[in-house]
Amino acid sequence: MHGEYKMPGGKLVVIDLDLRNGRLADVHLSGDFFLEPDSALHTINAALEGQPEHADETELADAVRDALSPDVMMYGLSPEAIAVAVRRALHWESEA
């Protein structure tokens, strides 16, 4: 599944994922944003792994936010934008 979101005033956020037993799997975040440190990308993907298929945007954003340490800098990206991209990926799949 694939979802995209262009954050207002920000950058493109792309999520690719699968579903397994009603949970997010093989989550891969990409886009034209910047993260410091680079390892935060792995942390975000790991935070989304296993989240319930029906988690709403607030729950997904909270999972990302809770996983990141205070020293992570996000440029052109936010936990909310990531959550929108995830929900779009899931919504598009459910329409197919």
> What tokens were used for 39?
């390892």
Burial class, 94, CB count within 10 angstroms (exposed 0-12 / middle 13-18 / buried 19+): exposed
The string of pLDDT tens digits covering residues 22-75 is 999 999 999 999 999 999 999 999 999 999 999 999 999 999 999 999 999 999
* 26 neighbors 32 (Cβ within 8 angstroms): no
> What tokens were used for 89?
């990926």
2-95 has CATH 3.30.390.50 classification: yes
* 80 neighbors 61 (Cβ within 8 angstroms): yes
Residue 9 has pLDDT above 90, yes or no: no
